[in-house]
Structure 1
């Protein structure tokens, strides 16, 4: 299994920054003084062995995106980020971001990749096939970084070589040229990368695969509205053997949860279907299920060395968390009806607040008979979550409480949180899934519907996701037109990929941000955050400090000072 962390790769990371200018050591008369210090690297001593190449590649893997994608959702109508010092999500969602903040302008991983690609061929004691594969992995990681930068900032500097001193300042390259480069790179590396890895060095599971390259390529096409190419590429990924994860295993204390309070089951089979759907969905992200057949790309962690802070960011203070990112009411309203498979009609904010204050029985009815993914994803008032029960507690019911490290909206996320770490009182080290097979099915469904309208293949892709979650299949009579199915797919995509960082680009590419980026309130109608949309927010500002350092080469994004 491919595992890495920033500590045990410090040496290779230091070497791979691409910012260092290597030179000869200070000359000296004594031979032993000419030996390079053991805690430093020199071009004269590196790039000699296969291990050097391996370590260098690992240093680039270590810069992969991690759990920070939850803040992408917090920049949307899905969630709220209450601590502005944790990310720019608070100001992005409010519409107040300025060039004094950094929304993700960072080229360190790209410089590392360029430095690797400029030097890897110096190593001669490595098979040509393995070296080519390593280079393909690095090219993917560079393309992935450029994809994220392009989506955030639009036109970004495109450079693929190592700079000499004085060459660091590069003007912004048109977005189309950056995208063409990304697609070209992904096409090239998909022809080199294997479908799977057998395990063991240098074929550790978790490395970049052909499927990852094609999956990212389909995402690039989808975001750009190239639907025919997106559908075609997604269909190719669908032939590579990925499957939707399923598991009906109950965790410690989980059978204590009484869902008959929330769902009107018709019989035992109906209850079993619901529980299976709930557990199928929430367990995708647990550490014990890492590398399951649904995972196409993930950022890996080392147990007890490399911490995934999801449990801390998402859980309430009563469970040791910070409530950093919490669901909005709009996110809660997005989960449909378990019995009918259709969207719910939410009560008014005034009615909800009145019930919350005066009639908790009526208040609770809004959370009944919802999509199993709702119960797997959201902690709401009165929800049982005994997987998070302390040893000395008789049970755990979520209760919204105001105060430090508690939610401002009235809800907390349960999705992505691994209860095994909470009960063991240790840090979370579950891998952060960046691309999974459900996204590919949704990409195919959306893109193919835009190309040709509804057909059996589109419905089948959606039904696989719905069935796995315990939900009714798509009503093919009601959603028989391109337009009606489009809205269904968008809703399904929002629910299935909630908190996975996709919503940010979805509301931008669909141009629905002005309609959905509205001021948010808590369940008691307390103001949580005032949000004002401006079309300049489709693209983020370059940090002013970067413009200043560029000596006028970089030009600010229109609309920002």
Structure 2
């Protein structure tokens, strides 16, 4: 029965490992578990592990919680612009940073966890109990599988901690409360930590089951996440010039892990892009390895669909830099494309001339609920936006949304794979990327079928990427080879509003993209006729504020009588650059109180480099 469980994460049991106080109670409690009596069989172990799912595979999270969610959580990147001053980077060491809680406490501007090792300890407890309590009670296969699961999750947590803080203390066992040197150890070098993560992930892929039941962690799901984390660390080590040998080692593992998924032939690009993010059920979706189920009857709902419904205000929205990054459907950049109307930046024309992911991600008309007038509705159905100006159904309003969340999908795996191969080939002595490699990754994605609504609008599949005729992008930076530039473009189109963009900038050492003074297009939206498309900005309140910029750079400002002249690129209301930042922003500082706590015990906690 446990193996056939239909997983709804918020119902996952959180096991309280408690000891019985003999002075209060002379018999085991009925509502919690006595540690030494708990690890009887696989069902007990599985129940303990179930609590990992909502933390690591959060999907759209629940209710209005935004940690690790698309649209509401990952709002800090160069793709998005808000009114007034942009959200800033951290500029000083916080008084305190850290937690000992298992509750998800993340740092939005770092896209990862706070200084908290509770989940590392949780995995080390699992490893300890498997070895010292459960092992005689389960088969050797079960022991290896659950050890692999524990090591996978430990590696998962450390991968995220390293992405935020760089060097962190590495704990490979449960530390006793009275072991002060163990508890108050200083940071370990990120390479040492990630070498241990590498070993954990290698063990996981060798020992985890191919199938442990529907919607439960298995070898393919683990391999997909490993491709993500190894790509991040491999490219971070490379582009930041830290350790070429480690970069090569991690990137080769990213390729190996991705190929486990790709060679299984279990997944394919058999359905349209929109279906991934707006379906009531993702069961049987050919592209999805793991998804989170939402069910109103069980009060497991989310709000992410409502923030894509055309009415709800997100606050930061897609800018012209992002718009211009989308490839035309003939496979060329807009400056060189021969597609009719490709030079038009009116939203309806963009939907027809660009890669179909544009039309599936953005409403095809201007909406004033967006600061840039281009409204993202990637995570709502086409039906959802028919309720603009009306009462929304529960599925697309408030925090009662029930669309399933894709947690891991094939597109990420193949894009991790092709980027790792390209970086290895370009810089680290790997085999050259072939057209067959491109066809199995980028071109396979581009061959996703279109849904009828997109076809009816005139949307077309994008032409394949050809190594012999890579796009000649005048905006390409000289230090990025053409193929890697196109792989980065593909990621940007594929993952807009999702978890990748800020972390991509960090690993590529391109955080300077977050300095909006480098490109005036960051403060612009699409080409609009304000009188026809955004008349709400033509009241007296907006005299002197509503502005458009024409192609020659001329700015037209609303003066109360010139509404008909307001045709051009939308200028985001009072948009200003974020605070100045330096390379210290690549990593987060620890809090002053954490350093003082170490000092009070006679130990040293080193502050993050640069802070």
TM-score range (shorter-chain normalised) is 0.7 to 0.9
Hey, what does 1:48 align to over in structure 2? Answer: 40
Cα pair 2:294 2:403 within 8 Å, conserved: yes
Secondary structure at the aligned position of 1:493 is classed as: helix
- The alignment covers a number of residue pairs equal to 466
Determine the C-alpha separation between the residues in 1 that align with 2:288 and 2:207. Answer: 20
Determine the C-alpha separation between the residues in 1 that align with 2:410 and 2:57. Answer: 18
Q: Is residue 307 of structure 1 aligned with residue 298 of structure 2? A: no
What is the CA distance between 1:459 and its match in structure 2? 2.4
Hey, what does 1:527 align to over in structure 2? Answer: 574
Q: How does 1:411-422 map to 2 (within 5 A)?
A: 411-417=374-380
Determine the C-alpha separation between the residues in 2 that align with 1:543 and 1:411. Answer: 39
Secondary structure at the aligned position of 1:215 is classed as: helix
Give the counterpart of 1:407 among 370, 375, 385: 370
Change (3 A) 1:8 1:539: closer
Hey, what does 2:411 align to over in structure 1? Answer: 438
Change (3 A) 1:120 1:361: closer
What is the CA distance between 1:322 and its match in structure 2? 4.5
Determine the C-alpha separation between the residues in 1 that align with 2:226 and 2:324. Answer: 32
Give the counterpart of 1:158 among 170, 183, 186: 170
Hey, what does 1:540 align to over in structure 2? Answer: 588
Change (3 A) 1:361 1:418: closer
Determine the C-alpha separation between the residues in 2 that align with 1:77 and 1:361. Answer: 19
Give the counterpart of 2:124 among 87, 91, 114: 114
Give the counterpart of 1:26 among 22, 28, 40: 22
What is the CA distance between 1:110 and its match in structure 2? 2.0
Determine the C-alpha separation between the residues in 2 that align with 1:114 and 1:378. Answer: 44
Hey, what does 2:394 align to over in structure 1? Answer: 425
Give the counterpart of 1:374 among 348, 354, 358: 358
Cα pair 2:419 2:484 within 8 Å, conserved: yes
Cα pair 2:267 2:289 within 8 Å, conserved: no
Determine the C-alpha separation between the residues in 1 that align with 2:322 and 2:55. Answer: 30
Give the counterpart of 2:197 among 170, 173, 182: 182
Q: Is residue 333 of structure 1 aligned with residue 312 of structure 2? A: no
Determine the C-alpha separation between the residues in 2 that align with 1:546 and 1:81. Answer: 34
Change (3 A) 1:6 1:235: closer
Secondary structure at the aligned position of 2:481 is classed as: helix
Hey, what does 1:99 align to over in structure 2? Answer: 94
Deviation readout 1:406-427 (Å, 9 max, x if unpaired): 4333233212335688964142
What TM-score, normalized to structure 1? 0.74
Change (3 A) 1:170 1:212: farther
What is the CA distance between 1:119 and its match in structure 2? 1.5
Q: Is residue 466 of structure 1 aligned with residue 466 of structure 2? A: no
Give the counterpart of 1:510 among 508, 511, 520: 508
What is the CA distance between 1:190 and its match in structure 2? 0.7
Q: How does 1:258-277 map to 2 (within 5 A)?
A: none
Determine the C-alpha separation between the residues in 2 that align with 1:177 and 1:239. Answer: 31
Change (3 A) 1:229 1:190: closer
What is the CA distance between 1:164 and its match in structure 2? 1.8
Hey, what does 2:265 align to over in structure 1? Answer: 241
Determine the C-alpha separation between the residues in 2 that align with 1:361 and 1:183. Answer: 46
Change (3 A) 1:47 1:455: closer
What is the CA distance between 1:373 and its match in structure 2? 0.4
Determine the C-alpha separation between the residues in 2 that align with 1:322 and 1:41. Answer: 45
Consecutive unaligned residues in structure 1, runs of 5 or more: 16-21, 198-202, 248-279, 347-359, 383-398, 401-405
Q: Is residue 295 of structure 1 aligned with residue 279 of structure 2? A: no
Deviation readout 1:272-320 (Å, 9 max, x if unpaired): xxxxxxxx0111232422452322344555554333332244445x3xx
Q: How does 1:3-42 map to 2 (within 5 A)?
A: 3-6=7-10, 9-10=13-14, 12=15, 14-15=16-17, 22-27=18-23, 33-42=25-34
What is the CA distance between 1:518 and its match in structure 2? 1.7
Deviation readout 1:469-524 (Å, 9 max, x if unpaired): 62111144322999222211111121112222122222122222214542542533
Hey, what does 1:485 align to over in structure 2? Answer: 483
Determine the C-alpha separation between the residues in 1 that align with 2:315 and 2:26. Answer: 52
What is the CA distance between 1:239 and its match in structure 2? 0.6
Q: Which moved more, 1:368-377 or 1:511-520?
A: 511-520
What TM-score, normalized to structure 2? 0.68
Hey, what does 1:204 align to over in structure 2? Answer: 213
Q: Is residue 74 of structure 1 aligned with residue 121 of structure 2? A: no
Secondary structure at the aligned position of 2:608 is classed as: coil
Cα pair 1:230 1:444 within 8 Å, conserved: yes
Determine the C-alpha separation between the residues in 2 that align with 1:5 and 1:417. Answer: 22
Cα pair 1:287 1:418 within 8 Å, conserved: no
Q: Which moved more, 1:49-58 or 1:512-521?
A: 512-521
Q: Which moved more, 1:178-187 or 1:123-132?
A: 123-132
CA RMSD in angstroms comes to 3.4
